[in-house]
Amino acid sequence: MALQQETRKKLVTLALVGPAGLWLFVFLVLPFIAMVVFAFGKRAPEGGYQPAFTFEQFANLGSRAAAFVNTLMLAPVGALACLLIAYPVAYYLAVKASPRHRLLLVSLVVVPFWTSLLVRTYAWMYLLGARGIPHLLELLGIENVRLINTPGAVLLGIVYGYLPLMIMPIYVSLEKLDRRLLEASADLGAKPVSTFFGITVPLSLPGVMTGLALVTILLLGEYLIPQLLGGGKVFFIGNALVDLFLQSRNWPFGSAIAVTLVVVVVIVLMIAMRIAWRFAGTRQVDLV
Amino acid sequence: MASASPDDIEFRSVTKAYGAVTAVRDINLAVPKGSFLALLGPSGCGKTTCLRMIGGFEQPSEGKVLIDGREMNGVPAYRRPVNMVFQHYALFPHFNVAENVAYGLKQMRPRIAQGEIDRRVAEALAMVRLDGFAKRRTHEMSGGQQQRVALARAIVNRPSVLLLDEPLAALDKKLRSAMQIELQTLQRELGITFVLVTHDQEEALSMADQVCVMSAGRIRQLGTPQEVYDRPADLFVADFVGKINRLSAVLEADHATIRLADGTALNVGARPNVPAGAVTVAVRPEALRFLGAGEDAAGRTVSGTVTHRIFLGSGVEYAVDIDGLGDFLITADRGGHAAEESLSAPGDRVRLAFDPAAVHVFSSMDPA
């Protein structure tokens, strides 16, 4: 009887996680293993992969340092820029907006996702390009402003594209923040500014950390925005990978870069999780 | 500023409306220094709104709230000399016990020295018997302990008034009775005014020295617990504070005799304030007494059949179907440790006497 129940439990577990597990194994784990194997290989003369065991590819990472520097600079800076803009918006939505309008306003944050990022980034390409904002500035007498194909343009595109991903987790954590805690703080004599920095901000940190981790990780693999708004001048790792796999067909070197990126992402994620958990750990029960 | 020692809290014609809904209507109330007031009423009666207007979380739509003789309209919560124990304690989850308690002290300007803060936190924790818990996380504590932390956090600032919003609602019965005594003791030790909001009449009667019964945004009666229980101002108060048996009757022209539905005439003593005619009579369960076999109480007796017996430990509650009048709830002492056989049982015929002083007569015109 007991044994049967055990077996049943195991079967249910298998049925629940089996399909997803199989999917991940076939389409994530196996390709990743292949990639690691490639990374230690050699480029075949005609392009592609030739079996070998060499650290040559990793030793060569320096030749793509610019892509790493751009990515590792602009991803966190972009995420922080998103945070600075997103926090006030999320705060307004969760705390200040009237409940009647809240749903509408929150959906307005999400609406941009309904159109393709590609289309919206093309729009920015035009706006920042010679016939866009620089042209308008010229009419006002401000000449020679170059916007497109600069790190600034890429940063702008990043903030524009990723802002909703930062707003949502912060909004969620602020929204479930117990208002009585804010009242208790005021009751104990804290001015609104003290309440904000002493209670609201610390208790929304899990949302902030989630947003930062989410945006940073996605940005580390970003390809589209630097491609369109950086115009080959502001190169991300994503762009380097496309170049290596599709243009120069140097699969082993591309794999080495990709593996290195994964390692970096995992480290970033672990640090972010640890910080988020430290704060989350203190607020388990009470906020329900 | 008339008197030298103003009331701690005063409501002057206070009305609070939320859009079309009026939560509190024309409240006038004075709470003397050092008293323990309970705002008692069903949910939605406006008691919490009143408390929140004292705390500064709501502003009156009309009228004035005064604390210590000073008008408080427009003064934000963080500038008021009151502190509150919130219903679900509202402890800061990212702080430990000592940090929670110290929070109010750290807001004070000019700043208080850390040593002084530590000393006062320890003192407040000792007062609520939580010494040794300073470093605990609040979510690791039981409901009763969290409640003490909330209490310590609220008294550490030495407010002139302590507000308590249903402070015992989340505790189990045993803990609740213990905390009732502790709150009373604490209030006496601190000597500051307590204002308690509760829907639990037992809590209000047992702790407060003034009970303010509210319903539908108005004060129904303000008085000592005994006054409110023994001389309820209207049927609502009689019904809400304690149990009653409700009867329709007619008050005769002498304003002293009531005639019940079955024709029984009962002399309940002069009731000059109640207009003669249709009345509603409220009888407390303990105001009916079982009569022994030979006993008589002329003109005030009724007979009936016991339908249920509920053993309460210290007493017994009976449901009695009184001839011509219907079901009555009656509580009786056990008479020491009377044997079970001596108690009435379902099916028994019994005779009962009314205690005329404990019979409350209200005009049927009264809303309740």
CB-CB contact of B221 with B236 (8 Å): no
Domain around A270? 66-283
What is the tally of structural domains in chain B? 2
DSSP assignments along B23-70, one per residue: EEEEEEEEE-TT-EEEEE-STTSSHHHHHHHHHTSS--SEEEEEETTE
Say yes or no: B250 and B351 in one domain: yes
Do B187 and B307 fall within a single domain?
no
Mean pLDDT of A115-144: 87
Interface check A178 vs B, CB under 8 A: yes
- Nearest chain A Cα distance for residue B37, angstroms: 20
Residues B258 and B230 in one domain: no
The verdict on B227 and B308 lying in the same domain is no
pLDDT tens-place values along chain B, 368 residues long? 444 466 789 999 999 999 899 999 999 999 999 999 999 999 999 999 999 999 999 999 999 999 999 999 999 999 999 999 999 999 999 999 999 999 999 999 899 999 999 999 999 999 888 999 999 999 889 988 999 999 999 999 999 999 999 998 888 888 888 889 989 999 999 999 999 999 999 999 999 999 999 999 999 999 999 999 999 999 999 999 988 998 888 998 888 888 888 787 888 888 888 888 889 989 888 888 888 777 776 667 888 899 998 888 878 889 999 888 888 898 887 766 566 667 788 888 888 888 877 888 898 765 54
At residue B251, the 3 state secondary structure works out as: strand
Q: Which domain holds residue B298?
A: 243-363
The answer to whether residue B368 is domain-embedded is no
**DSSP structure class, residue A94:** I
Residues A189, B78: C-beta atoms closer than 8 Å? yes
One domain for residues B352 and B277: yes
Q: Would A18 be classed as within a structural domain?
A: no
Q: Which residue of B has its CA nearest to A181?
A: B90
User: Is residue B194 domain-shared with residue B63, that is, in the same domain?
Assistant: yes
**B320/B292 same-domain check:** yes
The answer to whether residues B254 and B211 belong to one domain is: no
Please name the helix (run of DSSP H) or strand (run of DSSP E) that holds residue B12, with its range, or none. Answer: strand B9-18
Q: Which residue of B has its CA nearest to A192?
A: B78
B196, B217, B235: which is the final residue of a domain? Answer: B235
Read off the pTM.
0.81
| B328 and B258 in a common domain | yes
Final residue in a domain of this structure, among B215, B235, B255: B235
CB atoms within 10 A of CB B160: 16
Classify B295 as helix, strand or coil.
coil
Is B227 within the bounds of a domain?
A: yes
Are B223 and B303 in the same domain?
A: no
Distance CA B36, CA B130 (A): 24
Give residue for tokens 């089996």: A18
* Amino acid in the structure at residue A273: M
Residue B219 domain-assigned (yes or no): yes
Q: Note whether A188 contacts B157, CB cutoff 8 Å.
A: yes
B218-223 β-sheet, strand order: B82-85, B161-165, B193-198, B36-40, B210-215, B218-223
What is the interface size between A and B, counted as CB pairs within 8 Å? Answer: 79
Smallest Cα distance from A182 to chain B, Å: 9
pLDDT at residue B1, rounded to an integer: 41
Distance from CA of B185 to the nearest CA of A (A): 23
- CA of B306: how far to CAs of B77, B289, B290, B303, in Å? 56, 13, 11, 10
Q: Give the domain-ending residue among B235, B251, B266.
A: B235
Q: Which of B49, B92, B145 to mutate to test the interface with A (most CBs of A within 10 A)?
A: B92
Q: Are residues B112 and B23 in the same domain?
A: yes
Cβ-based neighbours of A3, under 8 Å, separated by 6 or more: none
Q: What residues in B contact A277, CB-CB < 8 Å?
A: none
Question: Residue B3 falls within a domain, yes or no?
Answer: no
Do residues A170 and A244 lie in contact, with contact meaning Cβ atoms separated by under 8 Å?
A: no
DSSP-derived pairing of the beta strands B82-85 and B161-165: parallel
Q: How many CB atoms lie within 10 A of CB A99?
A: 6
Q: B263 and B319, same structural domain?
A: yes
CATH number at residue A239: 1.10.3720.10
Kindly list the residues from chain B whose CB atom is less than 8 angstroms away from the CB atom of residue A180: 86-88, 90
Q: CB of A50 within 8 A of CB of A43?
A: yes
| Minimal-distance CA residue of chain B relative to A183 | B57
Q: What pLDDT is stored for residue A283 in this prediction? A: 46
Q: Which residues of B touch A190 (CB under 8 A)?
A: 78, 103, 107
